[in-house]
Amino acid sequence: MTSSSAPVLVTGGTGTLGRAVVRLLAARGDDVRVLSRSGAPGTVRGDLETGEGVEAALDGVRAVLHLATTLRDDTGITQTLVRAADRSGRPRVLYSSIVGIDRIPLAYYAGKRASERIIAESRLRWTVLRTTQFHDFIETLFGVQRLSPIVFAPAFSFQPIAVEEVAQRLVELLDSDAAGMAPDIGGPQTRTARDLARAYLAARGSRRPTLPFRLPGTRFSAFASGANLVPGEPYGRITFEQFLAAHADAAARGSRGTTEA
């Protein structure tokens, strides 16, 4: 059995959520290992695609926060991790997933659901946390339309959450040793995509118009039905506007620092 002071391994530790989790763990003094293919400074080498170095990275850890993801199907990297963990002391695995993946017929979501099953059917102790989309995702959804005279928004709602709050919840689950499917969490507000688009534009001083759109098919219908939302008391407290303001402040500080340098 591993000690409570044993290291925690974070896969995807250089990603949006991973960086937030690593910061939290490091700030309170946890021994954190960040898995990366490159083995860059501050990380340990391990390739979830091939399995090379993964068992060594798992040696002696008490838990794994599996936050790595791909642009395709995550089942391969999850299978690699689970098999290596089963041979390396069977640490607990905490997995970050997405609200509605069992109701929204997207190929990427199917891969996330399959990864959940791989973890749940293993011999490891496990916890899965599903969350709504991050504020960062919503910002990107509209940011990629920066050259368009009109900002298009899907005719359904989101309940975005701050990545820092998702990281906090994962650390809470790590400390509580909670097992199985944790309650879903979402952001503080459920808002139409068009409303979020207007907030995004207002934060940038833009007066571009917004236009909602609908698409045929079961995928759009699933989102429109609210399958991506979490009813009840929200976990998150940071609103989309607060997220945008914080990002603007950080960008301004970075710009001043560059100028001063």
Could you tell me the residue ranges of all domains in the chain? 8-260
8 A C-beta contact, residue 34 and residue 8: no
Token pair belonging to 115: 């990864």
| Residues 44-88: tens digit of each pLDDT | 999 999 999 999 999 999 999 999 998 778 899 999 999 999 999
Rounded Cα distance, 251 and 257, in Å: 10
8 A C-beta contact, residue 211 and residue 153: yes
| Residues 99-126: tens digit of each pLDDT | 999 999 999 999 999 999 999 999 999 9
6 has a pLDDT exceeding 50: yes
- pTM, two decimals, is 0.93
Predicted confidence band of residue 1 (pLDDT cuts 50, 70, 90): very low
Instruction: Give the pLDDT of residue 255.
Output: 62
| Residues 18-53: tens digit of each pLDDT | 999 999 999 999 999 999 998 889 999 999 999 999
What is the second-level CATH architecture of the domain 8-260? Answer: 3-Layer(aba) Sandwich (3.40)
